[in-house]
Chains A and B, each alone.
Chain A
Amino acid sequence: MQDYQTQKPTVLEILNTHQAMPGNLLPILHGIQDTLGYIPPAAVVDIAKALNLSQAEVHGVISFYHYFRETPPGEHTIRICRAESCQAMNGKALETHVKQQLGIDFHETTADGIFSLEPVYCLGNCACSPSITIDDEVMGRVTTEKFDRLLATYKGAK
């Protein structure tokens, strides 16, 4: 994991930008995760101090939302939808396939550090179930074959 001291200026800048905004904790947490890929636990001290909250409160919010992570992700994060529509459209089989292909379970990162895998509950793309996202891109009607192609593309890009 990276030394927090090198990340601290980024965190402080994000805190600074959102300082005056009411209800700024979630935007700040998103800002940090968008920039650093995760929320370093050490950043919680700075966030709490800047927002006049306790560290426990900030931690409570981070841990409540599964989207927020406190460890660095792989280069690309794959999220598989596990909500009703996707499950009805064979999402379960896709899930098994993906895990097999990557050799990891949910909340894990591949040994080469390229992919992290997370579950997600509804991407609002139900008409095109089953859906996944890779990083910020939503993809629908993902069959096992389509997934393999996508995987190859992302690996190739690497």
Chain B
Amino acid sequence: MSANNEIDYGTPASSSANQVTLEIDGHKVTVNAGSSVMRAAAEAGISIPKLCATDSLDPFGSCRMCLVQIEGARGYPASCTTPVAEGMKVCTQNDKLASIRRGIAELYISDHPLDCLTCAANGDCELQDTVGQVGLREVRYGFDGENHLDSEKDTSNPYFSFDPAKCIVCSRCVRACEEVQGTFALTIDGRGFDSKVSPGQNQPFMESECVSCGACVQACPTATLMEKSVIDNGVPEHSTITTCAYCGVGCSFKAEMKGEQLVRMVPDKNGQANHGHSCVKGRFAFGYATHKDRIITPMVREKISDPWREVSWEEAIGFAANKLKGIQAKYGKDSIGGITSSRCTNEETYLVQKLIRAGFGNNNVDTCARVCHSPTGYGLKSTFGESSGTQTFDSVMQSDVIMVIGANPTDGHPVFGSLMKRRLRQGAKLIVVDPRSIDLVSNSPHVKADYHLKLRPGTNVAVVTALAHVIVTEGLADEKFALERCDVESFGKWKTFVALPEHSPEAVAELTGVPAETMRAAARLYATGGNGAIYYGLGVTEHSQGSTTVIGIANLAMATGNIGRDGVGVNPLRGQNNVQGSCDMGSFPHEFVGYRHVSDSQTRMQFESAWGVTLSSEPGLRIPNMFGAAIDGSFKGLYVQGEDIAQSDPDITHVHHALRELECLVVQDIFLNETAKFAHVFLPGSSFLEKNGTFTNAERRISPVRKVMTPLGGKEDWEVTQDLSNALGYPMNYSHPSEIMDEIAALTPQFAGVSYEKIDEMGSIQWPCNDETPDGTPIMHADHFVRGKGRFMLTEYVATEERTSSKYPLILTTGRILSQYNVGAQTRRTENVAWHEEDRLELHPHDAEVLGISDGDWCGVKSRSGETVLRALITDRMQPGVVYTTFHFPHSGANVITTDNSDWATNCPEYKVTAVHVAKVAQPSAWQQEYQDFSDNQLSLLENRIAVNE
């Protein structure tokens, strides 16, 4: 349902460049050719009654409510399905039309419960509005005839209910599921009077193929599909546009409120990243924000074996500052550091790194991108000159060939996944490079990969180089582009390198597990199939050769000329809501804001003069180095904002060891997460609903985050960092995050033109935004690469040290699923657990048979790092020899097994390749039992905390 009086134009906008002028009710109206009469009227401010039409869906013409008269045309055509024509004369209202519409409304209402006053959609119902508009005054048929009023309500979905008694069978939900979401989980069961909306095979929603994206609820014009939060709380009274805090798609939402209470999140039709679509997380899983587990009072303790003590903000900040200062006095300036959060805003991230560089006086700052997309930063900076994706999401609608490497968009980036599926259904070709059969391969209706390169984990570089080999040796490269736009010498060297016989598909077929002919066909398709776009994810970066694969991908795009326009490009699907932003904001130990190296004295001088301090020219510690130094005894204090390193980082026993060695761990978070169980100071964080700021999504889009409620803990995150900085003796004095953004803009060429005023005006901005590109930059490298000439780099394949052996015969790879988000701190505290209540070990039926494992059995998974126990899920998505799990639950211990191997260039951990041994077991692993005890103990220390007033 469209919220708060937003105009619904009835049918989608036409993208035609030609204009047509027609006359509607005597008014001259000029619209794009291809528009419907309904849309043309709406654009002219004339509202034609409608039920089955909405501007997010193609016209359907089933309700017959929008009939009009057109001069010279026979009968009463539906205005939604009738395109405009030059000189057309339309009448939208006369006695005859009024009578027909009343007759139709009468039929609808004769089979509709008349409980408007007690209906959840009262005041927000299109049926109610339309019937009011047509002036229905009586129902001559009575209400005694056959009807659907006793239909059973389906409340199986935790977030919305389905009440067929209120359904008018307009098919908007069915069409939304198909056109917008691409899941096709709904249909019309039966025909004629028996027609009814049916999930799956007339099943309850939860048993059907529904993924709970909310598109159907959004499309429903009545209370048939209704958010339970609205049923419980009533229709919201005001709304604020903000940005989702889950993944890197960065969907724009309206937070619909009653006072300070969030009633529902409604995807914003004008959102440039999501165009009114959403997924189960952003749309529904916001309950965590006010969950009872939120910790809203600061706490401190001397030792992690002590119970927590609630204190005032002042005391907590003072406690942390004293500890950190004391550590620096005792162990030296470099003995402390901090970690910025990709979950927090740009402004907050900027402030944390500023506190560390200027307040701590060192460069020991890092961010979770270290463990996800740091190779993207390195690889794309080295080749193109900028550490970011090259396109907008919308660019995919111009792609002819889409190559997805090591990414699972329908689970990880669902809203973009839906857009990609829409393009694929229009006929774009698809190449999937992934060890698993992800849904895009063949499990999405009407979408099928043309080629699935089901490679062995860890062989990405060999596959990408083999694709390059085919392109070069078969003469498929776009020489003109490469010679004009790229560094000619590097192109020459690269061609010679990839053409070597050892890089041919035939030479690497056995190593990679991909048939040579499949690699050849995929390479030919990418190089010659029109606009070729590459989308990749953590399956590319989280390897010992993550950076090399990113470089290899950039090489492919440059060699085929697939850079610099719509429909092409290299697109990292960045994980966290603000991982792009946290990298942009100088979160890495070697870079200031805008990816400028700390050793560059000109940049450093600029920051020194702005910040009024002397800055170190030495890169600081990366996260893994911080752990190492903590264990060595040289690193003693850490400030972690909104990141759960004790769950998300690899080789977790090593991480826990390091955390225990710290003398002061300050955690700022909304929950007592796993990391906080090792902390000495807990500073309550604020959720995305409680603060102002900006997030930057995977397409470099800076979108506004707006405060809709008072922070439960009393402070927005940036205020806490500011207080800590002041207590440490480095003064900060911002009164609003917009001032922080102004400082960022003043110090960073890519952001020079960014301001809150501009974001408010434009909705969102894609950086670079400066004097040259005042409205931002949707497509990068359009006329020339940021670094001048694109640079080809050689991609020698070096096998990971992590190999299978008789002791560890299987390869474990890790990933994510749709309903849970990363460490799960948020989604585990929502009803999303209904879809995924535990992490499972996926394995191929063949391996399961050999190991004597049945579906649901407990499996011990052992690597050289550690051992954990997970329940088995047997599926032919896997290939024999490869097992898979997620790490959304702390006690799964997926990261007990992952190793300390990492990317050669950036230390990004090799989460995707761990040699393991799997066997059926009866009980949790020793680690799980120990950790359970530790965790229970920490929770009791929290439970028994000494209250602030005692």
Residues of A within 8 A of B (CB): 41, 44, 48, 52-57, 59-60, 63-64
Contact = CB atoms under 8 A, between A and B. Distances in A.
B395 interface: no
Interface in B167-194: 183-191
Interface in B194-209: 198-202, 208-209
Contact of A54 (B184, B442, B448): B184
Contact of B190 (A52, A54, A55, A64): A64
B202 A59 contact: yes
A24 to B, nearest CB: 14
A60 B445 contact: no
A59 B189 contact: yes
B201 A41 contact: yes
Interface string B917-937: 000000000000000000000
A139 to B, nearest CB: 27
Which secondary structure characterizes the binding site on chain A?
Answer: helix
Given A53-B446, A57-B184, A64-B188, 17 more contacts: A44-B201, A48-B445, A52-B446, A52-B448, A53-B445, A54-B200, A55-B208, A56-B199, A56-B201, A56-B209, A59-B198, A59-B200, A60-B188, A60-B198, A63-B187, A63-B191, A63-B202
A56 B446 contact: no
Q: Sort A-B residue pairs by CB-CB distance and give the 10 closest, nearest first.
A: A60-B187, A54-B184, A56-B187, A59-B201, A54-B445, A63-B189, A55-B200, A63-B190, A56-B200, A64-B191
Contacts of A63: 187, 189-191, 198, 202
A59 B183 CA distance: 15
B892 to A, nearest CB: 29
14 contacts: A48-B445, A52-B446, A52-B447, A53-B184, A53-B445, A54-B184, A55-B200, A55-B201, A56-B184, A56-B185, A56-B199, A59-B201, A60-B189, A60-B198
A56 B190 CA distance: 12
| Chain B facing A: main interface SS | loop
A57 B187 contact: yes
B256 to A, nearest CB: 29
Nearest to A42: B201
B943 to A, nearest CB: 46
Contacts of B448: 52
A52 B185 CA distance: 13
Contacts of B185: 54, 56
A64 B188 CA distance: 8
A60 B208 CA distance: 13
A111 B807 CA distance: 63
Contacts of B200: 54-56, 59
Interface string B430-445: 0000000000001001
Contacts of A60: 187-189, 198
Contacts of A54: 183-185, 187, 200, 209, 445
A57 B182 CA distance: 12
B157 to A, nearest CB: 15
Nearest to A64: B191
A42 to B, nearest CB: 9
Contacts of A41: 201
A22 B448 CA distance: 16
A60 B185 CA distance: 11
Given A41-B201, A44-B201, A64-B191, A56 B442 contact: no
A53 B442 CA distance: 10
Contacts of A55: 200-201, 208-209
A52 B447 CA distance: 7
Given A41-B201, A44-B201, A57 B445 contact: yes
A63 B192 CA distance: 11
Given A44-B201, A64-B191, A56 B447 contact: no
Specify which of A54, A56, A60 lies most central, judged by the most chain B CB atoms within 10 Å of its CB.
A56
B191 A56 contact: no
Contacts of B186: 56
Contacts of A59: 187, 189, 198, 200-202
Q: Which of A44, A48, A54, A57 has the most CB of B within 10 A?
A: A54
Interface in B139-191: 183-191
Contact of A52 (B188, B199, B209, B442): B442
Contacts of B187: 54, 56-57, 59-60, 63
Interface in B441-492: 442, 445-448
A105 to B, nearest CB: 16
Nearest to A59: B201
Contacts of A48: 445
A63 B200 CA distance: 12
Contacts of B446: 52-53
**Listed residue (B186, B201, B208, B448) with the most chain A CB atoms within 10 angstroms of its CB:** B201
Contacts of B191: 63-64
A63 B201 CA distance: 9
Nearest to A51: B445
Contacts of A64: 188, 190-191
Nearest to B187: A60
B741 to A, nearest CB: 45
A56 B188 CA distance: 8
A57 B198 CA distance: 10
Contacts of B445: 48, 52-54, 57
Interface string B402-435: 0000000000000000000000000000000000
A60 B189 CA distance: 5
A44 B185 CA distance: 13
Contacts of A53: 184, 445-446
A55 B189 CA distance: 12
B344 to A, nearest CB: 39
